[in-house]
Structure 1
Amino acid sequence: MNKRLFLKSLGLGLAGIPLSSSILREDLAKKVVLPKSISKGDKVGIISPSAATADRIQFQFAQETLEALGFEVRLGENLKNRRGHLAGSDEERAADLNRMFADPDIKGIICIRGGSGASRILPMLDYKTIQKNPKPLLGYSDITALHSAIHAQTGLITFHGPNGTGSWNSFNVRQFEKLFFERELVKFENETVKGDDLIVKQNRIQTIRPGKASGKILGGNLTVLTALSGTPFLPDFKNAILFLEDIGEDPYKIDRMMSTLKLNGTLDKIKGFIFGQCTDCNPSGGYGSLTIDDILDDYLLPLNIPAFRGAMIGHVPKQFIVPVGAQVEMDADAGTFRLLEKVFQG
């Protein structure tokens, strides 16, 4: 994921675009909105709200993946557009998302990839139409901007998980089927593989502070989430379970972003914390560095809430599909969390 242009993109997007009257200022959702369920044979749409896709075969891969899952596929009108690093202009990318939510024939929406740029379209989204036509939206990384804004403005549950061009291995496919087709109250538990070693080392959980907690699960990519601080697109984290992941960030940047979550009041509101994978988050030099362990201890231990790290969330081939806004119970000792209530209508 290339997030280097993200903060600049957020500033340009919000500075150049007035907040649309479609944003529900006085009418912010007070309750969670469940998306309508989807089934095999339904028509789903593929959109690109963030960065452009460079290789044409990736469009084919995404379409074939969704067809293999049992869906009929419609490509967004502007899916293959390009403007610099973005998948078309802000207006084009926002239009594709708005059209997919407004179209009654489309039952679900999948983002083809992340990257950067989704924040630029947040003021252009038709939140009233989204709230009136609740349907599942799937994606991760930069798509955190959409998950956060849509939940903050409408209360709709969306899904943090593989993008259309992501890895659709057997683990991810089975999890998708259990969640979307069988509508199970899924328990999210790391898959551990011993391999040719005396002990299990892959996908190990580390308990930061033991205990159990329940609440609405919110979060996503740390860089994207913290860049929404101070905007109407950051959800209310009161009594929430916060989950985070990131990629390619030095520990000092992780520290700065965790500091932002402390200073803006987010960390003081939450009841539990889950840290996924921080892929390639290694120090790049200087006079030494705090470790990710140090940073998480500094910010989380004083909160006296259950917390663990190592969940299969993030830029990893096998990843959980997290229903953003759903009620869950987490167990920091076991390193698991589970759905407490259904996440679809009906």
Structure 2
Amino acid sequence: MDRRHFLQAPAVLGPLTATGAAGAASARPDPVRPRRLRPGDTLGLISPANASFEREPVALAIEALQALGLKVKLGAHALSRRGQFGGSDAERAEDIHRFFADDGIAGLLALTGGSGCARIVDRLDYGLIRQHPKFFGGFSDVTCLINAIHRQTGLLTFHAPFAGSTWTAFTTQHFRALVMAGEAPLLRNPEGEQGGDLVQAHDRAWTVRGGRARGRLVGGNLAVLSAMAGSAYFPDFDGAVLFLEDINEYIYRVDRMLATLRLAGAFRRLAGVVLGQFTKCEPGDGNYGTLTLDEVFEDYFGGLGVPVYRGAMIGHIPRKFTLPVGAEAEIDADARTLRILAPVVA
């Protein structure tokens, strides 16, 4: 699976380790653009969360990246396993450090998600990452790392497909445009794809509250993001455009996690909200009388006074956008679009 089915434990509060960047989260660093990925570049594959248990998914991941024109190097511990994790905490952090320090590696991409990134987020050497800025991507449980790295270093990171994701034409197009071509794309759900139906029934987006606004993109998986609350790695939401997605969570848990974000102050000064796919987020067995997702989202976002739209191609779905965490974007909730305002790679 792309993500764990249980709520990830929050990062432990307290001072950063000796390898961390003490006090870095107190001020917002200037954004740093990584170099774009070019054909012939080598991408380092890491397993910062779950292990890869079968050979074929790894082979398919490597072939997909090679089809993008990239070379691939597996981390020393990318195929390791300790329990469900891709190696010990120290080994998973070590692979990240080695690839950031290696000038022959153009970027890092997670093989898969699962759980465990919160176990290593306080083990990372953010000073090293700041000195060697490069592409870093993943989603789901890797929400923890892409937000932490941006918060601690200012490096723009990427809510991107895993190496082991389904690289559909839609997914590939959006990844290439943002990360390889250096474009500043307009992100819009596909329209007019009825598939034989009288009206479009899939990949629809709709407005919760209209309007336009600009702000920095932060967000990712709701369960993981809410588990970071109170830590030094929690995003700075002031003036941000928040994007959220999730999978396999009962609606009451979605409600509870949104309450956690609200209690942590995340919703006080948002510029806008983009809600992606909440796949298989249902009432659950024996849960009669529960709120619907529509009602939960209206309760938390309807009264914020900012533009909000729902249904964006973000999440645990085959066709997905690549989003730059920390980049300036414009939300148009009436048009149900998100525009990246400038190239996010150098």
Which amino acid is 2:79 matched to? Answer: K
Q: What is the CA–CA distance in structure 2 between the aligned matches of 1:237 and 1:267, rounded to whole Å? A: 7
Tell me the residue number matched to 1:331.
Answer: 332
Report matched runs for 1:275-294 at 5 Å: 275-284=275-284, 285-294=286-295
Tell me the residue number matched to 1:344.
Answer: 345
Shift of 1:5: 4.4
Provide the secondary structure at the position in 1 that maps to 2:149.
helix
Shift of 1:287: 3.1
Provide the secondary structure at the position in 1 that maps to 2:296.
helix
Number of aligned residue pairs: give it: 341
Tell me the residue number matched to 2:72.
Answer: 73
Contact map agreement 1:6 1:117 (CA 8 A) in 2: no
Tell me the residue number matched to 1:52.
Answer: 51
CA spacing shift, 1:5–1:293, aligned 2, 3 Å: closer
Provide the secondary structure at the position in 2 that maps to 1:299.
helix
Shift of 1:213: 0.7
Shift of 1:143: 0.6
1:12-44 superposed Cα distances (whole Å, 9 cap, x missing partner): xx48x9831222223445211111222101111
**Stretches of structure 2 lacking an aligned partner (at least 5 in a row):** none
Are residues 1:187 and 2:208 paired? no
Shift of 1:132: 1.2
Tell me the residue number matched to 1:314.
Answer: 315
Query: Which contiguous aligned blocks of 4+ residues in structure 1 show a shift greater than 4 angstroms?
Result: none
Which amino acid is 2:292 matched to? Answer: T
> Is 223-232 or 57-66 further displaced after alignment?
57-66
Tell me the residue number matched to 2:203.
Answer: 203
Shift of 1:211: 0.2
Shift of 1:6: 4.3
Shift of 1:47: 0.4
Tell me the residue number matched to 1:295.
Answer: 296
Contact map agreement 1:141 1:220 (CA 8 A) in 2: yes
Q: What is the CA–CA distance in structure 2 between the aligned matches of 1:77 and 1:61, rounded to whole Å? A: 19
Are residues 1:166 and 2:165 paired? yes
1:19 pairs, out of 16, 34, 41, with: 16
Q: What is the CA–CA distance in structure 2 between the aligned matches of 1:238 and 1:27, rounded to whole Å? A: 16
CA spacing shift, 1:167–1:270, aligned 2, 3 Å: same
CA spacing shift, 1:27–1:118, aligned 2, 3 Å: closer
Report matched runs for 1:39-118 at 5 Å: 39-118=38-117
1:118-165 superposed Cα distances (whole Å, 9 cap, x missing partner): 110001111011111111112110010101110110111111121011
Are residues 1:251 and 2:248 paired? no
Which amino acid is 1:66 matched to? Answer: L
Provide the secondary structure at the position in 2 that maps to 1:269.
coil
Provide the secondary structure at the position in 1 that maps to 2:331.
strand
Q: What is the CA–CA distance in structure 1 between the aligned matches of 2:179 and 2:263, rounded to whole Å? A: 37
Which amino acid is 2:308 matched to? Answer: A
Which amino acid is 1:145 matched to? Answer: C
Shift of 1:201: 1.5
Which amino acid is 1:224 matched to? Answer: V
User: Of Structure 1 and Structure 2, which has the larger fraction of its residues in helix?
Assistant: 1
Q: What is the CA–CA distance in structure 2 between the aligned matches of 1:3 and 1:42, rounded to whole Å? A: 31
Q: What is the CA–CA distance in structure 2 between the aligned matches of 1:339 and 1:262, rounded to whole Å? A: 26
Shift of 1:286: 2.3
**Stretches of structure 1 lacking an aligned partner (at least 5 in a row):** none
Q: What is the CA–CA distance in structure 1 between the aligned matches of 2:184 and 2:240, rounded to whole Å? A: 18
Contact map agreement 2:160 2:175 (CA 8 A) in 1: no
1:156-185 superposed Cα distances (whole Å, 9 cap, x missing partner): 111112101101011111112211222111
Q: What is the CA–CA distance in structure 1 between the aligned matches of 2:326 and 2:78, rounded to whole Å? A: 27
Contact map agreement 1:18 1:123 (CA 8 A) in 2: no
Tell me the residue number matched to 2:236.
Answer: 236
> Is 206-215 or 53-62 further displaced after alignment?
53-62
Contact map agreement 2:49 2:116 (CA 8 A) in 1: yes
Provide the secondary structure at the position in 2 that maps to 1:106.
coil
The sequence identity of aligned pairs, in percent, is: 43
> Is 57-66 or 241-250 further displaced after alignment?
57-66
Which amino acid is 1:35 matched to? Answer: P
